[in-house]
Structure 1
Amino acid sequence: MKQNIGQKLALYPTPATVVGTIGEGGKVNWLLVAHIGIVSHSKMLLSIHSSHHSIKAIDETKRLSVNIIDEQFVAAADYTGTVSGAKTDKSGVLPYHLGEAGMPVIEQSPLVMECEVIDTYEIDGFKNYICTILNTYVEETMLDEKGKPDYTKLKPVLFEMPTYKYLRTGDIIGDCVKMGKAYGETLK
């Protein structure tokens, strides 16, 4: 029996990321963002509360980096979401270099995407950025034999909202499409 728990968003967990921006005077800022989604094969959505200091830099430059978190630096990543860049200089919290598009790339992050904002909309106090991916950087040891990210090695940290917990990613449980085809064969 299922219980109706009301109008609750129940799509968690989501990947935890640190968004990197470059603001006034070239200053780097970091912000933990877990409201992130896929809108096409080359576009993503970031949803950030309008009160965050990073909003100004994103709105001005229309560029940002999305740095996947792994367990190595989850505490530092979490810190970036607990203090405001308006009051605290977070540029030294995580070692970084600038990527080809000029956005900060966290050295410890196993996968980083430099993005350009192509559309913005506001809803419920959140600025929502549709971004196109300009560059994706992946640690070579995290690539499979075909040169694609291997998430069994990469193991991104997930964020779960109702309890505010971080989770590990798990094991492979099956092959997409192959499982469905095999199941379809059982229906014949």
Structure 2
Amino acid sequence: MNTKKNIGAQLALYPAPVIVVGAMVEGKPNWTLVAHAGTVAHSHLMLSMVKAHYTNKGIRETKKVSVNVVDASWLKKADQMGIISGNKTDKSQAFDYTIGENGAPLIDSAKLSIECEVDGNYELEGFDQFICKILATYADESILNEKGKINYHVFKPVLFEFPTYEYFLTGEKAGDCGKM
């Protein structure tokens, strides 16, 4: 017997990693908190961002963007990037940053940053869906295992749950893929 209730057309693919997106806008870095992002291929990711974001202007102009994955050590500051509008406030000094090898600003306090180039934009219902080719991934050595891969037992990205707007810490291992 099916006990599931139809709750309508709800976005229910959450929780998802919390990220701060960075782009150069008029020669300065700007940052915004993004909740809608994901992989679309092994080589690409997608950023779904409200068109009105100031950061979108820089992404459209430069075609360069950084995805900075948030952990608990800088969550409070990251959260502020979703409250403060770059259209009204200069957010260029919100973080210490480095310009990546491909021109996107990378947040120094992020233990994991991904530098991308925009391949395309699918516009949908007031959102830009930036399809981004991954050019480089920068990881702090403290989160790498002996094989140089990201160790998610050490690096624990914060997750965002929509629509309650709550943050969660990643938890314990549930099993091994393909061996359950």
SS of 1:54's equivalent? helix
Partner of 1:31: 32
Say if 2:7 is the partner of 1:19: no
Partner of 1:88: 89
Q: Stretches of 4+ moved more than 6 A in 1?
A: none
Partner of 2:10: 8
How far apart in 2 are the matches of 1:61 and 1:150? 32
SS of 2:154's equivalent? helix
Partner of 2:133: 132
**For structure 2, which runs of at least 5 residues remain unmatched after alignment?**
none
Counterpart amino acid of residue 135 in structure 2 = L
Partner of 1:168: 169
SS of 1:153's equivalent? coil
How far apart in 2 are the matches of 1:52 and 1:107? 22
How far apart in 1 are the matches of 2:84 and 2:107? 18
**For structure 1, which runs of at least 5 residues remain unmatched after alignment?**
180-188
SS of 1:178's equivalent? coil
Partner of 2:122: 121
- TM-score, normalising length from structure 1? 0.92
Counterpart amino acid of residue 11 in structure 2 = L
How far apart in 2 are the matches of 1:55 and 1:139? 27
How far apart in 2 are the matches of 1:141 and 1:77? 20
* Cα distance per residue 1:114-147 (max 9 Å; x no partner): 1000011111110001000111000111011211
Counterpart amino acid of residue 147 in structure 1 = G
* Cα distance per residue 1:12-52 (max 9 Å; x no partner): 1111100011011x111000012001011110000001111
Structure number with higher helix proportion: 1
How far apart in 1 are the matches of 2:25 and 2:163? 32
SS of 2:83's equivalent? coil
How far apart in 2 are the matches of 1:154 and 1:94? 20
Counterpart amino acid of residue 7 in structure 1 = A
Structure number with higher strand proportion: 2
Measure how far apart 1:178 and its partner are. Answer: 2.0
How far apart in 2 are the matches of 1:93 and 1:72? 15
Counterpart amino acid of residue 2 in structure 1 = K
Aligned length: 178
Q: Among the aligned pairs, what percent are the same residue?
A: 52
Partner of 1:48: 49
Counterpart amino acid of residue 7 in structure 2 = I
How far apart in 1 are the matches of 2:16 and 2:83? 18
Partner of 2:143: 142
